[in-house]
Amino acid sequence: MSPARHKPATAEATYLWRIQYFRSAKGGTVFAPTAAFLKFSACVFSREARKVLQSILIKQTTIAAPAETSGLGLHTAVPVRVRLRPAPPDNGLVFVRTDLDDFEINASVECIAHCSYATTLMRTGVMLSTVEHLLAALRGLGVDNAYIEVDNLELPIMDGSADDFAAMILRAGVVEQPAARRALRVRRRVQIEQGDRRMSVEPHETWEIDCMIDFPHPLIGMQRLRFDALDPEAFLREIAPARTFGFTEEIEVLRRANLIRGGSLENAIVLTPAGMLNETPLRRADEFVRHKILDIIGDLALLGMPLLGLVRAERSGHLLHAALMSKLLRDDAAWEIVDMPVGAHLAVAS
Ligand SMILES: [Zn+2]
């Protein structure tokens, strides 16, 4: 890639280039440009300027400084400490089991071991469970490269959402690195179906997720939301706070299977046949579909880079997310790796 491609050619583009960084309230450097600004710029800039903007490359990012948090594992109830460390360009997201001589497990599709109730990674017999909410926070906030130190076999559940992980990332700050961000561009539609569960990905200028869930429950019913997964601000506001949920009738089954030993009303919405056990209200009426989108972003982070494609999910779960990724990757003609253009957002606005 020629360095000239990084140089903006017009005053408008130079302006955009300069505001690609903004200082977060806590003083860290957070990745920009913001989607709102890009949508605004798509309206006010000339057609020529927009062409230039679309040719500017987005750079890879890592966190500016180490940051940590701790909590209990949802399924194992073991206490665990998580610490993020900066990583070089093209490193990707790599888990490090500090309790096992810093054994590394890549956040990658090849390491998926099983995915009932949570996504578990494994490499040569070493496991790491419930990775999806932390991965969603990293992918959702546009962090490409980081080491994730973990001192036990399961990530902490925190409050059942990705809020605490997002806060940890913002505390650390996010910085750009001297390498173009890569994206996995979908070239051909791929679909997977299991009964009435369906998931597909198709060519699209940006990364959007159109998600539908359908539970015969008075608090849920059918919920549907379409989300721009390349917009970190929207992720923070719309998706990160959505908590995981479960049904009382499932809970005994899961307990008998030795799962959700750390589960409580502090880290999940627990639904009874007519309502919920939690005394605090839902964070949003459609918190359930928002959490499903959170899970999709977290699981699809295992592709190692953001997608350029439209994901449609109906009644999907971790198993289907993994099956779709593996079917997509097996079909060489269905995808290619490209530099991520700023124009991915402009495409949404035009
Ligand atoms: Zn989840």
Are residues 24 and 75 both part of a single domain?
Answer: no
Tokens of 275: 């309502």
| Full DSSP string of 262-322 | T--TTSSEEE-SSSBS-SSPPSSTTHHHHHHHHHHHHHHGGGSS-EEEEEEEES--HHHHH
State the pLDDT at residue 11.
42
State the pLDDT at residue 124.
92
Distance from the alpha carbon of residue 267 to the mean position of ligand 1, in angstroms: 11
Domain boundary among 32, 59, 86: 59
Distance from the alpha carbon of residue 102 to the mean position of ligand 1, in angstroms: 26
Are residues 70 and 155 both part of a single domain?
Answer: yes
DSSP class of 141: T
Are residues 156 and 210 both part of a single domain?
Answer: no
CA 235 from centroid of its chain's CA atoms: 9
State the pLDDT at residue 33.
45
Domain boundary among 141, 163, 180: 180
Are residues 166 and 194 both part of a single domain?
Answer: no
Q: Which residues of the chain have pLDDT under 70?
A: 1-56, 343-350
Domain count within the chain: 3
> Among 234, 325, 306, which residue's Cα sits nearest to residue 60?
306
Are residues 227 and 333 both part of a single domain?
Answer: yes
Distance from the alpha carbon of residue 295 to the mean position of ligand 1, in angstroms: 5
Q: What count of residues does the chain have?
A: 350
Give dist(CA 161, CA 163) in Å, integer: 6
Give dist(CA 248, CA 224) in Å, integer: 24
State the pLDDT at residue 195.
95
Distance from the alpha carbon of residue 244 to the mean position of ligand 1, in angstroms: 5
Residue 40: CB atoms within 10 Å? 12
H/E stretch holding 347: helix 343-349
| Full DSSP string of 231-258 | -HHHIIIIITTPPPEEEHHHHHHHHHTT
Distance from the alpha carbon of residue 173 to the mean position of ligand 1, in angstroms: 24
Are residues 268 and 333 both part of a single domain?
Answer: yes
Whether residue 33 is preceded by a cis peptide bond, meaning omega within 30 degrees of 0, is yes
Distance from the alpha carbon of residue 132 to the mean position of ligand 1, in angstroms: 7
State the pLDDT at residue 158.
96
Are residues 135 and 165 both part of a single domain?
Answer: yes
State the pLDDT at residue 58.
87
Distance from the alpha carbon of residue 17 to the mean position of ligand 1, in angstroms: 36
State the pLDDT at residue 115.
80
Domain harbouring 261, CATH code:
3.30.1700.10
Please state the pTM of the whole predicted model: 0.83
Are residues 210 and 307 both part of a single domain?
Answer: yes
Distance from the alpha carbon of residue 18 to the mean position of ligand 1, in angstroms: 37
Domain that holds residue 33: 3-59
Are residues 69 and 116 both part of a single domain?
Answer: yes
Distance from the alpha carbon of residue 212 to the mean position of ligand 1, in angstroms: 15
Q: Residue 318 catalytic?
A: yes
Distance from the alpha carbon of residue 96 to the mean position of ligand 1, in angstroms: 21
Whether the CB-CB separation of 79 and 152 falls below 8 Å is answered with yes
Domain boundary among 59, 88, 104: 59
Are residues 220 and 345 both part of a single domain?
Answer: yes
- Give alpha helix (H) positions in 45-191: 47-55, 132-140, 163-172
State the pLDDT at residue 169.
96
Are residues 94 and 207 both part of a single domain?
Answer: no
Q: Which is catalytic among the residues 75, 133, 291, 318?
A: 318
Tokens of 12: 């408008």
Are residues 207 and 171 both part of a single domain?
Answer: no
Domain harbouring 107, CATH code:
3.30.230.20
